[in-house]
Chains A and B, each alone.
Chain A
Amino acid sequence: MALETRPKFVGVLSCSGEEEPEGTIARNAVRLVMEKYRPGITVSLCLPLYLAGDSGEQEFAKRVPVIAVDGCEKACARLSTEKYSGEVSDAIDIRALLRQWGVEDELSRSHPRELEWELAERVAREIVRIIDRYIEEGKVAATNTR
């Protein structure tokens, strides 16, 4: 039997985004993927820890495909991954997605209502679509999906 050498996990790195509603959507979307949509295969990387120089987080990100989920065009999650661990496999810019979806409502960063949760769900499904593509393409071994 051949030894499985492909990564077993997908790293999903959310921007911290405390200042912006899109940051809250990013964090909630990543948690939804981890808890509801693709538990077992998804590992979140803690951005501040990553930036604080945690070698475990940085090394992990070098070994698995990483999806950067950024709230805005400043792209802190993508840029930090590129700075410390190399290219990301995919990147999501939520502000750009909201424009694409025609969302013009004023959003809350602190008190997500039905709309913010719906948007977090939609972003989560975008992340899931990418993870499923990695599985289909054989980039990750889908042995951990529950």
Chain B
Amino acid sequence: MSDKKVYVIPCSGIGKASASVGRDATYRVVEDLLPDRADTLCLALLTLEDEEAREKVRDNYVVAIDGCAKDCARKNVEAAGRAPDIAHRVQDYLKKHKDLKPEAVLDVGEGGRKLVEIMSEELAGEIVGLLEEDD
């Protein structure tokens, strides 16, 4: 398996509950499911052209998670010089699980938490696949 890390970068939206779901799923992946292989990165830092952050993106795998159709995470990663290896919108998971609508930004509620679980499990699987491809 590749020794590269995977940086999971959620959008930083604080106006939508879906952004909170994306961020919670990111934390679940990088802290609980794949703590040795995955980490996260401040999106704003990356876009402010912080050299250390850009280097991490250039030299590792990147997953962008967006909370709305404006795709700020994906676009900001692209602006740093490369397309993300995996890019998802929370809305795509919501379409498949319409009953799991997140309730609010500060507390996504029971449905939102279930969506975080589903999303993080699927993401972790994709990330493992990505790392195995590099073998």
Tell me the bound Cα distance from A17 to B11 in angstroms: 10
Q: State whether the Cβ of B15 lies closer than 8 Å to any Cβ in chain A.
A: yes
Is B42 a contact partner of A16 (Cβ separation < 8 A)? yes
Q: State whether the Cβ of B72 lies closer than 8 Å to any Cβ in chain A.
A: yes
Number of residues of chain B lying within 8 A (CB) of chain A: 30
The verdict on A48 contacting B11 (CB below 8 Å), with A19-B42, A74-B50, A77-B44 known, is yes
Q: State whether the Cβ of B123 lies closer than 8 Å to any Cβ in chain A.
A: no
Tell me the bound Cα distance from A32 to B50 in angstroms: 29
Chain A residue, CB-CB nearest to B16: A46
CB proximity of A69 to chain B, nearest CB, Å:
10
Binding site for A on B (CB under 8 A): 9-15, 23-24, 26-28, 31, 40-45, 47-48, 50, 70, 72-73, 75-76, 79, 105-106
Complex A-B: 8 CB contacts under 8 Å: A14-B12, A15-B12, A15-B44, A20-B42, A35-B106, A46-B15, A51-B44, A51-B72
